Chains A and B, each alone.
Chain A
Amino acid sequence: MVQRKGAAEMTSSTPVDPMAFFREMLGQWEKAVNESGNRITGSEQFAQLMGQGTTVSAQMQSAINEAMGRALAVANMPSKADIDALSARIAAMEKTLARIEGSMAGAGAGRSDGPSVSRNRKPPGKQG
């Protein structure tokens, strides 16, 4: 009897959310689409197709690189390779600068301007 009354109360206080069904369906739909999508994209045929697509786009990129290089040379402009070479030289300078900064930091010159803190903290259970 008591149990029956409790069950009745539970029924009357069951959450009523008009959107709950929609959200549940969305979750189910997402799961189903992901599972079937993964079955398709996980197949050998799909991998082959993807590989072919990558090869075609790589070929196109190579052709564009070559054509652009020729066009820039005709216009007496630096090519991507020239810019890359300049960038590599800047990177080398950055590395040298970082090394110099590092050696200066040994003398305290490289420290940032953040607040100085003590380093004696103990875990909560071990604080004396």
Chain B
Amino acid sequence: MSEAASTADPLAAARAEFERMLQRGIKGLGYFASPAPVPGASAKDVLVSRGTMQLYHYRPLVDDVYRIPLLLVMATTNRGYVFDLDKGSSLVEFLLQRGYDVFMLDWEAPRADEKHLGFEDYILDFIPSAIARIGQETGETQVNIAAYCFGGVLSLLYAALHRDGPLNALATFTTPVDFSEMTLFRSWSDKRFFDVDRLVDAFGNAPPDMLLASFDMLRPAGRTAASIRLADNVWNDEFVRAFRLMDKWSNDMLPLAGNYFRQSTKQLMWNNALMNGTMEVGGRHVDLANVTVPYLHIVAEHDHIVPRPASAPLIGMIGSMDKQEIVLKGGHVSLVAGANAVRRLWPQLDLWLQERSV
């Protein structure tokens, strides 16, 4: 029965709702009995697997790709498969179909002996190593980067410290710069009450359970409401599959390397160093005005993790002549994955990148 018919006739609508109720019962049982879908839509080769650092090369889907390869840089708190969840809802698949040669810098959980890793390892070792490996793989001397959330912060710091490097263009999504505006995170990590040194000394790496609880506390009703919506839509196979994939991803949080967590807390949360111009990486001062490559920042209008005021000053701090900020409807995650992203962010990214990939 069509939706139009069901909404025009109350009896038909009631019948449709009754059928859905039956389906909810039948499929609800199937939900608990069936295994969770496996994320990942695109074939890839693992080029580098070095501790927490993982570099993938996705196999091209066209015979002729853009000259400049594209590196996706994932946030360090979550897994990169949010960019490649499922056929038809994969940013990677979309980019491959549009003719990009796509690589991804993803993260495994840092091992206990990697607790010493800090900003300097991510920015002065992992990203440059990944770019060098991409150069070897493609024979190209330039690379474009698209980075998500804190992956964006790392990429910006990299770009600021490698002015003459191989970076050709940079796009970041939902990237914070004014950490004083991340009010809840800032309150929870208040230096009067939060002893980050003691935490890191005791645990080594920052436990993912603690991080997940913090993210959940941003939206206390989020999980309950999501479960009710799932029950309401359990008749819809497509909804259930997308929900399970996204639910798996959002629960699949990574621990943060101890020193990296300590540095993030002290430099960014406590001192707001990026905003105040006091940021240092490996003893080198970082000035975002040194980012001079073409730059695109895409932000979400209803981002509960990186609120708009936390990302708004970024575009003005970048030194590039060719820079643009786009505010799209959506939230922190729905900006990059799901139906909203397919309609909004992906085409915008493609439009901006294609001119800068030749």
Contact = CB atoms under 8 A, between A and B. Distances in A.
B199 interface: yes
Contact of B199 (A54, A113, A123): A54
B50 A95 contact: yes
A58 B7 contact: no
Interface in A19-59: 19, 22-23, 26-27, 29-30, 33-34, 37-38, 41-44, 46-48, 50-52, 54-55, 57-59
Given A16-B7, A51-B195, A124-B354, A33 B220 contact: yes
B113 A110 contact: no
Interface in A76-109: 80, 83-85, 87-88, 91, 94-95, 98, 102, 105-106
A96 to B, nearest CB: 10
A83 B187 contact: no
A17 B195 contact: no
A118 interface: yes
* Count class of interface residues, chain A: 35 or more
A3 interface: no
Contacts of B232: 19, 22-23
Given A84-B112, A113-B45, A123-B355, A55 B198 contact: yes
Contact of A41 (B8, B9, B140, B220): B220
Interface in B1-39: 7-10, 13-14, 17
A34 B220 contact: yes
A87 B358 contact: no
A5 interface: no
A38 B60 contact: no
A87 B113 contact: yes
A106 B133 CA distance: 10
B48 to A, nearest CB: 6
B99 A121 contact: yes
Contacts of A27: 225
Interface residues of B, number: 65
Given A16-B13, A87-B111, A110-B136, A98 B129 contact: yes
Contacts of B327: none
B219 interface: yes
B250 to A, nearest CB: 16
B220 A118 contact: no
A111 interface: yes
Contacts of A121: 62, 64-67, 99, 357-358
B321 interface: no
B193 A50 contact: yes
Interface string B176-199: 000000011001101011110011
B354 A118 contact: no
Contacts of B220: 33-34, 37-38, 41
17 contacts: A18-B13, A19-B232, A29-B221, A29-B225, A30-B219, A38-B184, A42-B187, A46-B187, A51-B190, A51-B193, A98-B48, A105-B136, A119-B138, A121-B66, A121-B67, A122-B358, A123-B358
Interface of B: 7-10, 13-14, 17, 45, 47-51, 57, 59-60, 62-67, 99, 101, 111-114, 129, 132-133, 136-138, 140, 183-184, 187-188, 190, 192-195, 198-199, 201-203, 210, 217-222, 224-225, 228-229, 232, 354-355, 357-358
Given A15-B13, A102-B132, 17 more contacts: A16-B7, A30-B222, A47-B187, A50-B194, A54-B198, A58-B203, A94-B51, A102-B136, A110-B133, A111-B137, A112-B45, A112-B47, A113-B45, A117-B65, A119-B66, A120-B67, A121-B62
